[in-house]
Every structure is written in C-alpha cells, then in structure tokens.
Amino acid sequence: MVTGDDHGLLELGLRSGDRVRFRRTTGGWSEARVEGRERDGSVRLRDGKGAARAIPVDRLEVRTTGPRGGHRWELLSDLAAQTEQLRLL
C-alpha cells in the first residue's frame, strides 16, 4: 500500500531510505537518508548524526549508477523532471 507520504516521494523518484546529499551552509556536503515529504514540498531527511532536516528539492543530489556501473551524484530536480518510458509486460 502506498501512503500519501510515499506517493509524494514516488513523484520525485525517491523512496524512504534512499541516500541523498545536500550542501551545508559552511560549504561542505552532508549525506542523509530520505524519510518522507513535507507539506511545503521539501524532502524530510535524517542525517548521519540523527538530526531531522527538511531540504528543498532543488538543493538535493541523489546517488545514481552511471552507464559503466560507477556511482555519481545528480541533482534531484533534474531527475524528477525526466520522463521515463515504462516497461511493457
């Protein structure tokens, strides 16, 4: 069953527990895990220290797998804007 919170994440191509990163105000990157979606549209995260955060979609990057199997980071806003052909059964 998909809850309202899960549906909001699926619209962005995310799921609870996905690994993302965001830029701190001090300039470095911090990794976090996705927990849900906030009413304002931002993504609810939990960082490595256990702190909860709500970060706007345009400030998040998602860890993806590149064409050669390596990991890379891509802007969530770019990924959410892509359309993908669904596989036919």
Residue 87 lies in a domain: no
Count the domains in the chain.
1
List the domain range (segments joined by +) for residue 12. 4-80
CATH code assigned at 70: 2.30.30.140
Q: What is the pLDDT of residues 11-32, one digit of tens each?
A: 888 889 999 999 887 878 999 9
pLDDT of residue 7: 65
Residue 12 lies in a domain: yes
pTM, rounded to two decimals: 0.76
Higher pLDDT, 55 or 8: 55
Instruction: Match 């706007």 to its residue by tokens.
Output: 56
- Does the pLDDT value for residue 71 go beyond 60? yes
Residues 6+ apart with CB under 8 A from 34: 9, 14, 15, 16, 17, 18, 19, 20, 43, 44, 45
Residue 85 lies in a domain: no
